[in-house]
């Protein structure tokens, strides 16, 4: 009658895949406990690790869970306890972890009536509350693991992509908060055709690189020419951190989600650790406090 969950952090977007390409991190995430309750509806009874509202309609886990519950007749309700480990506004899918965990757990306790795609759609309602836009690139990998591609939003069509064995992510999180809604508000609504051509070329190359286990192709394709140039001004030392990662041998580097976290992908764990050390060497003299995570992806 209850389920305890690990709700993973995610990098999404991954570089050239704005709002479509995400990947799950298995070394950082929240915990959640969900139990059936004789009281109908959703109640969030406890949150530790973050100052977030318990009120269902104001909490991403609550909104996502309620949207699932509204879609069926259920004679009982659910209580949710959230143990946040992912900092809000960090760029590694804090709200998505909560939304995905809530719908996954409740679906399990109901006997799994919903498909993964349906769960993504419910979880997106929580994301809409957090960012003002119901994007799926974080909730999809949080629910499905690995790399995911949102091929289409209407209708929702999400694909799992393979990941070559030696691919690792380094994520450095400078301790400032960037609200996703703000990082979306600065974006332009029109894209010059030449930039679009570069971006979809890179996205196709990256997907092919993942299938072909072609690390050089992954490296050539890991560039976002549309969103990163605009958003990177919100992140202290972004250019220097990215340069340090590339100089250390990372395959590529970019903004994780809407920032301020910066990710780099590397071939091999040793390389990912060395890249993390190079990134740290930029922030330490600047006096910027940070967290760092290394994860096989």
Q: How far is the CB of 92 from ligand HSE (least distance, A)?
A: 9
Residue 7 preceded by cis peptide, ω within 30: no
Q: How far is the CB of 297 from ligand HSE (least distance, A)?
A: 17
Q: How far is the CB of 285 from ligand HSE (least distance, A)?
A: 29
Binding site for ligand HSE (CB under 6 A): 12-13, 19, 131, 135, 137-138, 180, 183-184, 257-258
Q: Which residue, 105 or 260, is less far from ligand HSE as judged by CB?
A: 260
| Rounded Cα–Cα distance for residues 190 and 91 (Å) | 24
Q: 90 vs 129, 177, 180, 258, 292, CA distance in Å?
A: 17, 6, 9, 8, 12
Other beta carbons within 10 Å of 79: 17
Q: Which residue, 15 or 278, is less far from ligand HSE as judged by CB?
A: 15
| Rounded Cα–Cα distance for residues 242 and 222 (Å) | 12
Active site residues: 127, 180
Q: Which residue, 19 or 31, is less far from ligand HSE as judged by CB?
A: 19
Sign of CA dihedral 190, 193, 195, 199: positive
| Rounded Cα–Cα distance for residues 182 and 161 (Å) | 30
CB nearest ligand HSE: which residue? 257
Q: Which residue, 39 or 230, is less far from ligand HSE as judged by CB?
A: 230
Q: How far is the CB of 74 from ligand HSE (least distance, A)?
A: 30
Phi–psi pair at 138, nearest 5 degrees:
-90, -45
């Amino acid at each position: 009658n209850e389920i305890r969950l690990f709700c993973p952090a995610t990098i999404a977007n991954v570089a050239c895949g704005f709002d479509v390409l995400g990947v799950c991190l298995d070394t950082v995430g929240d915990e959640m406990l969900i139990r059936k309750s004789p009281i109908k509806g959703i109640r969030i009874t406890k949150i530790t690790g973050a100052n977030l509202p318990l009120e269902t309609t104001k909490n991403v886990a609550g909104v996502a869970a309620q949207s699932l519950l509204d879609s069926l007749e259920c004679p009982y309700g659910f209580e949710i306890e959230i143990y946040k480990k992912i900092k809000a506004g960090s760029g590694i899918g804090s709200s998505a972890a909560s939304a995905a965990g809530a719908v996954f757990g409740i679906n399990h306790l109901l006997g799994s009536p919903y498909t993964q795609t349906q769960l993504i759609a419910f979880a997106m309602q929580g994301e809409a509350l957090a960012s003002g836009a119901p994007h799926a690139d974080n909730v999809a990998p949080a629910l499905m693991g690995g790399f995911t591609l949102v091929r289409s939003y209407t209708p929702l069509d999400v694909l799992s992509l393979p990941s070559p064995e030696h691919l690792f992510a380094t994520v450095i999180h400078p301790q400032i908060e960037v609200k996703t809604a703000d990082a979306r508000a600065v974006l332009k609504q029109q894209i010059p055709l030449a930039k679009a051509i570069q971006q979809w070329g890179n996205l196709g190359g990256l997907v092919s690189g993942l299938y072909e286990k072609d690390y050089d192709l992954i490296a050539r394709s890991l560039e976002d020419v549309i969103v990163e140039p605009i958003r990177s001004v919100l992140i202290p030392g972004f250019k220097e951190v990215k340069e340090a990662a590339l100089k250390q041998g990372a395959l590529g580097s970019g903004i994780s989600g809407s920032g301020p976290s910066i990710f780099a992908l590397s071939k091999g764990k040793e390389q990912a650790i060395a890249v993390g050390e190079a990134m740290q060497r930029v922030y330490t003299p600047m006096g910027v406090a940070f967290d760092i995570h290394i994860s096989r992806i």
